[in-house]
Amino acid sequence: MTLLPVGYRRAHENDTRILNSIASSQSVRSLDRSLSYGLVGLTFLLCFNVLSHISEYVFLALVGLWLLKVYYQKSVSYMPTSLDVPILIFLGWIVLTLPFAVDPVYSFAEWRKALPRFLIFWFVLQVVRNRSQVKAILHAFVIGLGLLCLIEVIDFFVIGARAFSMDVRAGSFFGAHQWLSNYLIIGGPFLCLSWVSQEFAWEKVVNSLVSCVYPLALFLVHTRSVWLVVLVQTSLFFIFKITEKFFLSVGIVLFSVVVMLMAVNLSGEFQHVLAKNDFSNPNTLKLRFNTWNVALEDIQNSPVVGAGFGKHAFQILHPNLPNEIHKHIHNMFLGAAVQLGIPGLVFLLWLFWKILSASDSLLRKFVGHDSFQFHLALAIGLMTIGVMVRNSFDDMFHGPIVYLFLLFVALGFCLERHSVNIWSWVDRQKSD
């Protein structure tokens, strides 16, 4: 056996280490591109509720790629945000209530499905690092939203409905009008953001096409609460432009909505007109009031731990409901209180409050500047208010809606990366 000189062996080891380092760096760059493109593709898929299972598998695959990147890079970073604690406490409280659920197996399955929907928030913080990535995600969503609206509008007329057939609602092709309603509410602010941040001719073409089909889908969905939310979002936008104070604007708009609803309910003549129209018949609202009364009784019976996590927990708790009561609570906040008790409702409200506070903080920071960050923060704030108001009359904060909501919220924090301290872990063996 031939013995190589010590110096030669050391040089060979150094060359091997350098080649391995280069290969590792190339692998990391490839994984970074795959993660970035994968997140863009995932955003597009999330626009279609019928593809929710495929979207979840894609997300899990992306998480696997991110873990592979951590393995090659031998390091991981953590960007602290104001939402970390609220999300962890909310998810943790669900786990604590599982033993007290009316159906622990069902509630655990729902928690398991909810977990990745919330974890996407931190995943986006790991992947998105610059404005170009944010805009690519925004474009993917706008294109997906436009395609969703176009298909639903075409399907509406294919089935033989007329534009003013208020008893028929767009949205049946991809599930139900409730899903389309929530996509429209989330999509409006970001469609406007895409308009003000466009740079290229193809962006103008895409935004113009989507802007033509979006209002048509908004009308054909024939849902009163959606129209109310769009009115709230539009009013909030203009009032904020005047006052430059986000929470003050929110207070003015919500107070005006409450006064308007009270005035409508107190008007006997208006109620008489409503009863003559199938679309505006108040019976659906009466059904909600009946259901909410039952929900309030459930909260009184179990105010701390609730009946168990999951939208169907209410139906499991009341298997033989009469026709004058809905099988679902149709109110996200009452639903949270029934499922998770008063603490669960408080934790959910805390999460939304933190999101609005983060938006307000960014808006105050960039007020007076026509910057992308400013409009992104405003879009997130409008989206959050829209989701809260819409789901006060329904409970559709599930599935792809949660994914999209927290994905967009995370984007607001991504562009603030330079202004916070990033905690990093690096394998010491790599540095040695």
Whether residue 13 has pLDDT greater than 80: no
Q: For residue 420, what pLDDT is reported?
A: 59
The answer to whether residue 300 is domain-embedded is: yes
The answer to whether residue 175 is domain-embedded is: yes
Buried b (16+ CB within 10 A) or exposed e, 238-264: ebbeeeebbeebbebbbeebeeeeeee
Mean pLDDT of the chain: 85
Whether residue 40 has pLDDT greater than 60: yes
The answer to whether residue 327 is domain-embedded is: yes
Q: What is the dihedral of CA 334, 338, 342, 344, to 10 degrees?
A: -90
pLDDT band for position 423 (cuts 50, 70, 90): low
For 107-131, write each residue's pLDDT tens digit: 999 999 999 999 999 999 999 988 9
For 41-91, write each residue's pLDDT tens digit: 999 999 999 999 999 999 999 999 999 988 888 778 888 999 999 999 999
Mean pLDDT of 391-408: 92
Whether residue 214 has pLDDT greater than 80: yes
Query: In this structure, what token pair is assigned to residue 197?
Result: 């941040």
Q: Give the number of domains in the chain.
A: 1
- Range of lowest pLDDT (85-99, 126-140, 312-326, 344-358): 312-326
Mean pLDDT of 307-329: 87
Q: For residue 290, what pLDDT is reported?
A: 83
Alpha carbons 250 and 355: distance in angstroms, whole number = 14
Beta bridge partners of 229: none
Greater model confidence, 213 or 428: 213
Identify residue 28 by its one-letter amino acid code: V
The answer to whether residue 352 is domain-embedded is: yes
Question: What's the domain range around 237?
Answer: 33-66+84-425
Alpha carbons 42 and 92: distance in angstroms, whole number = 27
For 222-252, write each residue's pLDDT tens digit: 888 899 999 999 999 999 989 989 999 999 9
The answer to whether residue 71 is domain-embedded is: no
The answer to whether residue 274 is domain-embedded is: yes
- Range of lowest pLDDT (219-228, 287-296, 301-310, 362-371): 362-371
The answer to whether residue 109 is domain-embedded is: yes
- Range of lowest pLDDT (17-21, 60-64, 323-327, 353-357): 17-21
Identify residue 187 by its one-letter amino acid code: G
The answer to whether residue 11 is domain-embedded is: no
